[in-house]
Amino acid sequence: MLNFLARNLDSLLATYGYLAVFVFVGIESIGIPVPGETMLVTAAIYAGTTGRLSIFWVIVASAAGAIVGDNIGYLIGRTGGYRLVKRYGRYIRLEEDRLRLGQYLFDKHGSKVVFFGRFISVLRIFAAFLAGVNRMRWRRFLFFNAAGGIIWSTLYGVAAYLLGQQLLRLSGSIDLALAIIGVAVVIAAIVFLRRNEARLQREADAALTGPLEPRS
């Protein structure tokens, strides 16, 4: 199902436009692993290459989806918490190691996890849920959540939009070289983030060795 969705993002965009961006990012932010970030990037590139979507409204739809979805995820985590994770976590890939990582990061960094978690793939889907599980105050959560959602949507959206425009204008060796450099930078950033996530998981496993306990 997820592979089908990922392969058909362009047709979904052509049919549903901004609504598709809002729905995909929102569902991912609730904690369900659908390609929300991929939809944002695809929509922004689509806007840059076809002009059929406005990058401004792509960013607005993405930010709104992130904020709404995160708040639903926060509410679920706050009310259901560990009970839901133990019963259903495996179905959405929220296993105990990720829960341990979330608790470790909230203990170490507090509210900043909600903001920066938006930029870390292993946390983006579950940061709001983990904020609820860890009993973060809602107003504080909303502030960092909204800031992260808006900045994340803007940075990723604008970068992908500019890439789309550059691809459209490819006409010579200089443009091609710039495109290759851009792709290399993106790949390097992804590799760096993956390694950093693995390091954080090792730190969490070392710091929290016993069974995880619900927060009061």
In a domain, 79, yes or no: yes
| Degrees to nearest 5, angle at CA 93 with 87 and 94 | 60
Q: Which domain holds residue 21?
A: 2-207
Residue 91's identity, in one-letter code, is Y
Q: Is the pLDDT of residue 15 over 70?
A: yes
Alpha-carbon gap, residue 189 to 183, rounded angstroms: 10
In a domain, 7, yes or no: yes
Q: Tell me the whole-structure pTM to 2 decimals.
A: 0.76
Please count the structural domains in the chain: 1
In a domain, 137, yes or no: yes
User: Which stretch of 110-119, 146-155, 158-167, 180-189 has the lowest confidence by average pLDDT?
Assistant: 180-189
Around 150, how many Cα atoms within 13 Å sit in the side-chain half-sphere? Answer: 6
Q: What is the pLDDT of residue 68?
A: 97
Q: What tens digit of pLDDT does each residue of 93-122 get?
A: 666 666 777 777 777 777 888 898 888 776
In a domain, 133, yes or no: yes
- Does residue 91 or residue 57 have the better pLDDT? 57
In a domain, 214, yes or no: no
In a domain, 212, yes or no: no
103 Cβ neighbours under 8 A, 6+ residues apart? 130, 133, 134, 204, 208, 212
In a domain, 23, yes or no: yes
pLDDT band of residue 189 (cuts 50, 70, 90) is low
In a domain, 91, yes or no: yes
Give the mean pLDDT of the chain: 78
Q: What is the pLDDT of residue 196?
A: 66
